[in-house]
Amino acid sequence: MGRAMVLIWACYYVLLGSKCVNCLGVNWGTQASTPLDPKYIVQMLKDNKIMTAGLGNKIKATITQNADVYYSGSQGPSAGDFRTEIRDTVVKISRFLDQNNCPFMVNIYPFLSLYENQDFPIEFALFDGGGKGVHDQNIQYTNMLDANLDTLSYCLKKAGVNNVIIIIGEIGWPTNGNKEANVKMAENFYNGLLKKLAMKKGTPLHPGYIEVYLFSLTDENKKSIAPGFFERHWGIFRYDGQPKFPIDFSGEGNAKMPVGAKHVKYLSHQWCVLNDDMKNLSRVKTDLDFACSLGDCTSLSYGSTCNKLSERKNVSYLFNMYFQMSQQSVEACDFNEAAKITNNNYSTA
């Protein structure tokens, strides 16, 4: 932990120096783990006018913190403080940002609170109101975003940091990999979030404009799933740049399917599936583990979109996912002769 904190502190000095750098920022995901060519991303941003919807303003250089660097327990935002074991370091970083007129950027994920605590009130993660909310010093908080941001504000004030601007570096909702991660929930979340941002009400402690970066533009089919199977499914667009649900980036309530990536080159229409004469599925267990480790089996996890497939379809799904992610190499559809390549789309069967 000590070495990590030293490295973080060193990064601040190297990246920020004595002044901040003005630059354009857009949060598209972890570039190394998305298969979509950057040229498609640029066109998608233009087609959907994201850069003119209030989401592409100039942002000063900083390093993002996760919201778990501070806490408030069950006592409300006013009880917030930076975690004891890292407080000294985070306070130094915060004061440095403040002195150099740089923002404090934080990632806030209401979904993760729901994922990590089954008793977390789902209405508090969204923006629909309802539920008890949180009452703190004559303020009634009806959503987690407001409560979280004001908790950070109290933390900064207790650290003697009064002028730093808070920016949300990442916020979003995944669409697969968990029972609460689905298209309907993501659409509901973004609809509420974008309407709130468009109204420029801010939070009880900080009314007005909030700078926010959505996470993320596209899914990432090679991102680490150590935190959860949902990690590869944060995108508003799928792996291939096609939209998942209607959305209005302006927050005016005119949701429609956004413009997807154009002229994407797809692989041939062929699939790798389990051989019809393979009856003893215990023989392919090792092959399944191999395909899952190098492919993407997150959609088969509990509560996910393909969770209810039959045993044979599960095998075909895994074989085919590995085959497609291996650029349809013939060698990637062998599995000790348990699989075959076909032109029939088994995904619709």
Predicted pLDDT of residue 341: 97
Predicted pLDDT of residue 41: 62
Reported pTM:
0.83
> What is the overall mean pLDDT for the chain?
85
The number of CA neighbours under 13 Å toward the Cβ of 268 is: 13
CATH topology for 2-232?
TIM Barrel (3.20.20)
Predicted pLDDT of residue 36: 67
Q: Give tens-digit pLDDT for 213-257.
A: 899 989 998 889 999 999 999 999 999 999 999 999 989 889 999
List residues bridging with 272 in a β-sheet.
Answer: 341
Judged against a pLDDT cut of 50, whether residue 177 lies above it is answered with yes
Judged against a pLDDT cut of 60, whether residue 21 lies above it is answered with no
Sheet containing 166-171: order of strands: 65-66, 104-107, 166-171, 212-214
Judged against a pLDDT cut of 50, whether residue 10 lies above it is answered with no
Expressed in angstroms, the distance from the first to the final Cα of the chain is 51
The mean pLDDT of 134-143, rounded to a whole number, is 94
- C-alpha distances (whole Å) from 125 to each of 81, 101, 109 are 21, 31, 9
Judged against a pLDDT cut of 50, whether residue 20 lies above it is answered with no
- Asked whether the CA dihedral 246, 132, 110, 304 is positive or negative, the reply is negative
Task: Enumerate residues 6+ apart whose C-beta is below 8 A from 323.
Answer: 271, 272, 329, 332, 333, 339, 341
Q: H helices within 170-281, ranges in order?
A: 183-199
CB 206 within 8 A of CB 166: yes
Indicate the SS3 state at residue 94.
helix
Task: Enumerate residues 6+ apart whose C-beta is below 8 A from 335.
Answer: 284, 287, 291, 319
Predicted pLDDT of residue 131: 76
Q: Give tens-digit pLDDT for 48-83.
A: 765 455 443 454 556 778 899 999 877 899 999 999
CATH 3.20.20.80 in the chain: give the residue spans: 2-232
Judged against a pLDDT cut of 80, whether residue 122 lies above it is answered with yes
> Can you tell me the distance from the alpha carbon of 83 to that of 127, in angstroms, rounded to the nearest whole number?
27
